[in-house]
Amino acid sequence: MARPSLCACVRPLVAALIADAAALRLSVARSPSGARIVDAGIAARGGIEAGRRIAEIAMGGLGRVALSPCERFPPWSTLVSVSSTDPVLACLASQYAGWSLSAEGFFALGSGPGRAVARVEPLFAALGYADEGDAVTLVLETGQMPPETVVAEIAARAGVPAAAVTLILTPTASLAGTVQIVARTLEVALHKAHALNFPLERIVDGLASAPLPPPSPDFLTAMGRTNDAVLYGGAVQLFVTGPAAAARELARRLPSSASHDHGRPFADVFQGYGCDFYKVDPMLFSPAHVSVTALDHGTTFTAGGFAPDLLSRSFGG
């Protein structure tokens, strides 16, 4: 069966975002080389609905993001919920922030469907997926406007003119940035499952949710809160094929509590490593509570647990 084109699936979502830019408090401009730059929180205000729609764009049009009331973590009463018709493609081929872009003092990790066209990451060999498109879109978690050298690199790697590149900028400290980061709860579960060598072709479907934290103008605090929302408040259910024992083992190893860095607000962990992100145990990055359903056996295995006290410390309650 042919796999969907992420670029084709996302095209109407990007067009609608641009058309509704004024209502969503976004600004849209062209870079000197013609790339379309969507500001969702730097000079423009942006907002929660913008972040929800940008999260769906980051998933390549194969995911749905919704906000819903929740009484699990009072007083934090809103959940960001995510589902996908093709979680491996939506999360790993698109939403995962795996493209490192840097030049002239600028740095950002790129996510979104443009990654599957450029395929600069080794991950795509494991996914066995390649996309084509005459226009590409990336979501960049950044508070800076990208220099033309970064735009040129993206265009060259994707094989399109600069005018066919759309970059959506979402600072971590912004409302839109907060939503689109927390909407990665399913993605972090898929990425950790891959790191644990679980066969990706056995992951059929997935659902996830995490509480929406208040943003903070301080970058470190904002980053800590969005990570803690997933690490200590995130829940995921994966539906997998294959042996029940493999599903049980995935559930056991997948939660954030399986990491030796679990148990402190992420900002504290990060500072404890001298603000070196790559010193943090990579096994920490996963949801707090995990359910894995073995479809061939009708059995569900659960592991992990929520930490509302840590959420309150992190969120400032």
What is the mean pLDDT of the segment spanning 238-256?
Answer: 98
Mean pLDDT of all residues in the chain? 96
Residue 278: the pLDDT is 84
pLDDT band of residue 277 (cuts 50, 70, 90) is confident
28 secondary structure, DSSP code: E
- Output the CATH code of domain 184-317: 3.30.1030.10
DSSP string, 142-210: -SSPPPHHHHHHHHHHHTS-GGGEEEEE--TTSHHHHHHHHTTHHHHHHHHHHHTT--GGGEEEEEEEE
Give the closest residue to 18 by CA, choosing from 62, 47, 50, 65: 50
Q: Spell out the domain ranges in the chain.
A: 1-62+87-171, 184-317
Which residues make Cβ contacts (< 8 Å) with residue 237, sequence separation at least 6?
A: 206, 207, 208, 290, 291, 292, 293, 300
**Cα distance from N-terminal residue to C-terminal residue, the chain:** 49
- Rounded CA-CA distance 81/66 in Å is 5
Q: Quick one: how far is CA 189 from the chain centroid? A: 10
What is the mean pLDDT of the segment spanning 52-74?
Answer: 95
Same fold flag, 1-62+87-171 and 184-317: no
Quick check: 1 pLDDT over 70?
A: no
Q: How many Cα atoms are found within 13 Å in the side-chain-facing hemisphere of 170?
A: 32
The values of phi and psi at residue 249, to 5°, are -65, -40
3 secondary structure, DSSP code: P
Residue 250: the pLDDT is 98
pLDDT band of residue 247 (cuts 50, 70, 90) is very high
Q: Is the peptide bond before 214 cis (omega within 30 degrees of 0)?
A: no
Which residues make Cβ contacts (< 8 Å) with residue 108, sequence separation at least 6?
A: 101, 102, 140, 141, 142, 144, 146, 150
Quick check: 276 pLDDT over 90?
A: no
Give the closest residue to 33 by CA, choosing from 134, 158, 151, 146: 151
200-224 confidence digits (pLDDT tens): 999 999 999 999 999 999 999 999 9
Percent of residues, the chain, with pLDDT higher than 90: 94
Residue 2: the pLDDT is 77
What is the mean pLDDT of the segment spanning 28-51?
Answer: 98
Residue 72: the pLDDT is 87
Q: 181: which 2 tokens?
A: 């980061």
Residue 284: the pLDDT is 94
- Rounded CA-CA distance 85/205 in Å is 7
Percent of residues, the chain, with pLDDT higher than 70: 99
Q: What CATH architecture is 1-62+87-171?
A: Roll (3.10)
- Rounded CA-CA distance 186/67 in Å is 15
Evaluate the CA torsion angle 61, 67, 68, 72 in order and state its sign: positive
Please, what's the b/e burial string for 92-129 (b: 16 or more CB within 10 A of its CB; e: otherwise)? bbbbbbbbebeeeeeebbbbbbbbbbbbbbebbeebeb
